[in-house]
């Protein structure tokens, strides 16, 4: 493990695994509650302290999340894991609070078109609705943390670039709801590292008291590069999905998240602590192909860790072709 190279880079990072929510929501095979619970146990035993377990949405819209209430009632509590759920409305909040959720992620898209595709309303309409949700949670369960998630923060598959002022406008609404943490989501993997850095610098200057998180997709292979750009700006909270599973049913081309094991491997190689046992995490990821019925996008599962060295038996010079 190397020491962290820059004073601005955090020495410890919280990694929230989202495989049971974002990872499974677009899978063709319905993942059984018992299978989700077994995976959650493996994540918890590996030291993952933050798990986004489900979303409280209508089961007809996202059938994979139909077991949200049952799942939350049965998640293991002995590991000290903080369980979160994503939800879009008051009914979802009522269900989440009743199920004993620790943290609620309120999501809205920065772009109107994606918000309409995802939630069938404009961004302004969703923000007004979420204000009611936030007020309810403050009254009914003040111990539950509210986190604002801003989808399409780095680009919209329908509209293209999203202006910075549009992000600021939405974040001002989140702040008015009392949120101190905002997660910027690259919903379809449109971000690049320079853009991530510039956006975070501008937002940090505008909202100095906000804790920032990143939810990055690896659609075009830039997920870890964008995570590094976030680290350089002091971001210490990242979402990732075991095996790189995930996507958005309402956004064209929204393929998987950055793989949790790939992100943790990079962080550990940089000397950044996560509290996660990487070997146990990789072992959990290797169970996914049998569960979902297709290969996973995981560089570390495919190629091994950097420090997984191999025995060298020697090669006769006549057989050496160089490389």
> Which positions are catalytic?
248
Contact 47, 273 (CB under 8 A): no
The owner of tokens 């923000």 is 127
Contact 98, 55 (CB under 8 A): no
- Stated as kind and residue range, the H or E segment containing 55 is strand 50-55
Residue 184, strand partner residues: 150, 214
Specify the length of the chain in residues: 323
- Tokens linked to 295: 């290969």
The owner of tokens 């595709």 is 117
Helix, strand, coil share of the chain (percent; to 5): 40, 15, 40
A 10 A CB-CB count for 320 gives: 8
| Cα–Cα distance, 113 to 122 (Å, whole number) | 8
Nearest-10 Cα torsion for 78, 23, 212, 253: 180
**Pairing state of beta strands 145-151 and 14-17?**
unpaired
Residue 212, strand partner residues: 182
Termini Cα distance of the chain: 27
| Cα–Cα distance, 27 to 86 (Å, whole number) | 17
User: What is the number of helices (H) and of strands (E) in the chain?
Assistant: 12, 8
| Cα–Cα distance, 66 to 59 (Å, whole number) | 5
Residue 312, strand partner residues: none
Render 127-170 in DSSP notation, one character per residue. Answer: HHHHHHHHHHHHHH-TTSEEEEEEETTT-BTTTB---HHHHHHH
């Amino acid at each position: 493990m190397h020491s962290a190279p820059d004073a601005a880079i955090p020495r410890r990072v919280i990694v929230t695994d989202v495989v049971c929510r974002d990872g499974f929501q677009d899978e063709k095979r319905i993942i059984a509650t018992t299978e989700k619970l077994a995976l959650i146990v493996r994540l918890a035993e590996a030291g993952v302290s933050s798990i986004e377990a489900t979303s409280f949405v209508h089961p007809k819209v996202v059938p994979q999340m139909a077991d949200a209430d049952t799942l939350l009632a049965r998640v293991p509590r002995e590991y000290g894991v903080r369980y979160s759920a994503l939800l879009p409305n008051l009914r979802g909040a009522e269900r989440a609070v009743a199920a004993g959720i620790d943290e609620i992620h309120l999501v809205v898209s920065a772009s109107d078109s994606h918000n309409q595709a995802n939630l069938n309303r404009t961004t302004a309409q969703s923000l007004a609705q979420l204000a009611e949700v936030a007020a309810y949670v403050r009254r009914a369960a003040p111990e539950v943390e509210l986190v604002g998630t801003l989808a399409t923060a780095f680009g919209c598959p329908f509209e293209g670039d999203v202006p910075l002022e549009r992000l600021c406008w939405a974040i001002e609404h989140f702040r008015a709801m009392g949120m101190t943490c905002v997660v910027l989501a690259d919903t379809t993997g449109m971000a690049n590292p320079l853009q991530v850095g510039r956006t975070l610098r501008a937002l940090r200057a505008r909202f100095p008291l906000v804790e920032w998180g990143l939810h990055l997709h690896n659609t075009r292979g830039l997920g870890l590069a964008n995570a590094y750009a976030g680290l350089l700006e002091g971001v210490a909270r990242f979402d990732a999905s075991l095996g790189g599973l995930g996507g958005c049913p309402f956004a064209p081309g929204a393929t998987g998240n950055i793989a949790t094991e790939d992100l943790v491997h990079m962080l550990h190689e940089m000397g950044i602590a996560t509290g996660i046992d990487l070997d146990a995490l990789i072992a959990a990821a290797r169970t996914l192909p049998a569960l979902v019925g297709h290969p996973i996008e995981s560089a570390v599962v495919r190629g091994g860790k950097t420090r997984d060295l191999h025995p060298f038996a020697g090669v006769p010079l006549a057989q050496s072709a160089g490389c």
